[in-house]
């Protein structure tokens, strides 16, 4: 009799623990806001995260905001998640907002990224292989360097380089433009066989659609290994403790260069919306969900993997 009661009690206890471990997420966690600087790599990761979250019953919302405004949104709590904290290029923002100042670093979500100046291959073959070579061909470059959108940390680094007159670039101008604008300018220059120096990065389809080379010599500004970078997931303060299931998902979500290049290619080359491109990629690569959804449930506490796989079909 004692043994039977013991078994029953143990079973009830285990059942209670199982139910507790699959408790529903608090209702105020349902709406999840992401910031997006308008970069296609972040379009792709936000798209992937949004599809998964919708499959789990959350309500993701992506807001297009310049990097400084996005960090301010994280600090104020108006934004929940930023999947695009490029390091070390955005170290200044991390120094300003991390710790008890408004944001939390969840984890590194991408390794092996690049971020520095690049030129078309024919320009590289003509002798522009290093930052120090730019000034030798000043007339051909029209003394211009093409960056990305105004306010981006990389532009600030380039402007600092020009202001200091490093590499004899003191008279050069930084042309600020959105990602699509600078890529259009690069393609136009390539079509005409003109010289152009621009901010390049990987992951991005430019690495396969344009014959290009990254320049050496920019370590003091962009870091070694051609601006070798990692990308971090950061959130507003206390998000993971307030929304533990969401926090578990964000902690599980990591990306690869190949993954992002493929999703970005669908967005840029095929004209797909980010969530459509992400859904198509997940349909073709469902195994990644096993890792992302390990220990993650729907917002109601039901098995997350089955829900998301059903959602993307």
Domains plus CATH for the chain? 26-111+229-312 (3.40.190.10), 113-227 (3.40.190.100)
d(CA 305, CA 41): 25
User: For position 17, what pLDDT does the model report?
Assistant: 37
* Residue keyed to tokens 């471990």: 21
In percent, how much of the chain has pLDDT > 90? 78
pTM of the model: 0.77
Residue 96 has pLDDT above 50, yes or no: yes
Beta bridge partner(s), residue 224:
none
Ranking 28-32, 203-207, 238-242, 309-313 by mean pLDDT, the lowest is 203-207
pLDDT grade, residue 127 (50/70/90)?
very high
> pLDDT tens-digit profile of 226-266?
989 899 999 999 999 999 999 999 999 999 999 999 999 99
Q: What is the DSSP letter of 218?
A: -
pLDDT grade, residue 22 (50/70/90)?
low
d(CA 173, CA 206): 23
Which residues, 6 or more positions from 220, have their beta carbon under 8 angstroms from its beta carbon? 166
Average pLDDT, the chain: 91
d(CA 74, CA 97): 9
CB distance 202 to 114 below 8 Å: yes
How confident is the model over 54-70, as a mean pLDDT?
A: 96
DSSP symbols for 80-115: -EEEEEEETTTHHHHHHHSGGGSEEEEEEEEEEEEE
pLDDT grade, residue 6 (50/70/90)?
very low
User: For position 117, what pLDDT does the model report?
Assistant: 97
Kindly give the residue spans of alpha helices, DSSP state H, lying in 116-166: 121-125, 138-141, 153-164
User: For position 121, what pLDDT does the model report?
Assistant: 98
């Amino acid at each position: 009799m004692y043994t039977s009661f013991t078994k029953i009690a143990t079973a009830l206890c285990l059942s209670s623990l199982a139910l507790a471990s699959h408790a529903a997420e608090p209702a105020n966690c349902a709406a999840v806001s992401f910031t997006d600087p308008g970069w296609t790599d972040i379009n792709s990761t936000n798209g992937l995260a949004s599809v998964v979250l919708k499959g789990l019953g959350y309500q993701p919302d992506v807001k297009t905001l310049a990097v400084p405004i996005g960090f301010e949104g994280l600090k104020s709590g108006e934004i929940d998640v930023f999947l695009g904290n490029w390091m070390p290029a955005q170290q200044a923002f991390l120094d300003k907002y991390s710790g008890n100042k408004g944001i939390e670093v969840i984890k590194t979500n991408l390794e092996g990224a690049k971020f520095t100046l690049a030129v078309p291959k024919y320009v590289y073959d003509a002798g522009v292989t290093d930052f120090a070579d730019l000034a030798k061909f000043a007339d051909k470059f029209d003394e211009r360097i093409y960056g990305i959108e105004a306010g981006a940390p990389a532009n600030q680094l380039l402007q600092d380089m020009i202001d200091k007159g490093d590499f004899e670039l003191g008279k050069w101008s930084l042309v600020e433009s959105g990602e699509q604008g600078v890529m259009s300018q690069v393609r136009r220059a390539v079509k005409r066989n003109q010289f152009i120096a621009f901010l390049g990065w990987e992951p991005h389809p430019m690495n396969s659609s344009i014959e290009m080379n990254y320049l050496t010599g920019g370590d003091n500004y962009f870091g070694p290994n051609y601006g070798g970078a990692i990308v971090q997931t950061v959130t507003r303060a206390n998000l993971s403790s307030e929304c533990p299931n969401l926090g578990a998902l964000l902690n599980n979500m990591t990306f690869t260069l190949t993954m992002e290049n493929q999703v970005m290619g669908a967005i840029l080359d095929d004209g797909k919306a980010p969530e459509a491109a992400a859904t198509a990629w997940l349909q073709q690569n469902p195994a990644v969900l096993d890792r992302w959804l390990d220990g993650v449930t729907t917002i109601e506490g039901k098995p997350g993997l089955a829900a998301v796989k059903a959602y993307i079909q």
